[in-house]
Chains A and B, each alone.
Chain A
C-alpha cells in the first residue's frame, strides 16, 4: 500500500539556518503530495502542496518540489525563524476505492532557537 517516510526528528536549528526535512513516498497511482504543519496546541494546517510531477509548492518561504524520479517531496526553507517551530507532516493523497485517502508520515518536530 501507499506509504510516506519522513526524516527522523526532532530537528533543532538556530534562527536563520537553512532547513531541509526529507520526505519520500511509495504509491501505486499518481498521488498529490502535501506538507501540513501543526503549531503547538493547534490542529493541522496545510503548508503547501503539489499535484503532479515537477510541480513546486511554496508558502511562507517554504518550498517543496514533487520529484517523481526519486519519489521525494523534501521541504526546504532558506532562513528559519523561531515562529517556524512546529511539527511538520508530509502526506500523500491518492484514490483508494473511489475515496480520497491521505497517508501521513510520522511527523518531524522542528525547534528553532533564537
Chain B
C-alpha cells in the first residue's frame, strides 16, 4: 500500500530535549516536505527536499533541521524544542515536480513541548 509513515504519532516532551520525528514513504517519490498545522493558520511549510541531499527552507524553518540521506526518508529534527513548537506536524511526498501532482500526506504527529 502506498503511504507516508510518520513516527511518533503522539509525543509529549520537555523544553530543550532534542527529538526527531521520522518520515518514510514507499512510493519512490523525489519530493518530500514537512508542514506544521496550527489553529487558524492552516498548514505552513517548514522544509522541503527535491531529492537526496537537496533540502531547502520553507516558510517557517526556525528551530528545525532536516536531512535527506536516502530517497525514502526525511526526518524532522528539533534540536532544542520550545513550547511554541507545540503543533501537529505532517510529512508529505510527491513525484518529481509538477504543480498538478497530488501531494500525499502522513497521518500527522502531535507534538507537545512543556
Number of interface residues of A (CB under 8 A): 29
Contact with B along A48-70 (1 / 0, CB 8 A): 01010000000000000000000
Range of interface residues on B (Cβ < 8 Å): 20 to 34
Is the C-beta of A81 less than 8 angstroms from some C-beta in chain B?
Answer: no
29 contacts between A and B (CB under 8 A): A32-B99, A32-B100, A34-B102, A36-B105, A42-B107, A43-B106, A43-B108, A44-B43, A44-B90, A46-B102, A49-B100, A49-B102, A51-B100, A89-B43, A93-B99, A97-B56, A99-B50, A100-B94, A100-B97, A100-B99, A100-B101, A100-B103, A102-B33, A102-B35, A102-B43, A102-B92, A102-B103, A104-B42, A104-B44
Is the C-beta of B82 less than 8 angstroms from some C-beta in chain A?
Answer: no
What is the interface of chain A, defined by CB distance below 8 A to chain B? 4, 29-32, 34, 36, 42-46, 49, 51, 89, 91, 93-95, 97-102, 104-107
Which of B40, B42, B44 is most buried by chain A, counting CB atoms within 10 A of its CB?
B42
Residues of A within 8 A of B4 (CB): 43
Residues of A within 8 A of B33 (CB): 102
Query: When the two chains form their complex, are residues B42 and A107 in contact, meaning their CB atoms are under 8 A apart?
Result: yes
Residues of A within 8 A of B99 (CB): 29-32, 51, 93-95, 100
Other-chain contact of A43, B58, B102, B105 (Cβ < 8 Å): B105
Q: How many angstroms between the C-alpha atoms of A99 and B105 in the bound complex?
A: 17
Task: Decide: A99 near B107, CB < 8 A? Known: A93-B99, A106-B42.
Answer: no
Residues of B within 8 A of A42 (CB): 107-108
Contact with A along B79-100 (1 / 0, CB 8 A): 0000000000010101001111
Query: When the two chains form their complex, are residues B42 and A93 in contact, meaning their CB atoms are under 8 A apart?
Result: no
Query: When the two chains form their complex, are residues A43 and B107 in contact, meaning their CB atoms are under 8 A apart?
Result: yes
Query: When the two chains form their complex, are residues B90 and A99 in contact, meaning their CB atoms are under 8 A apart?
Result: no
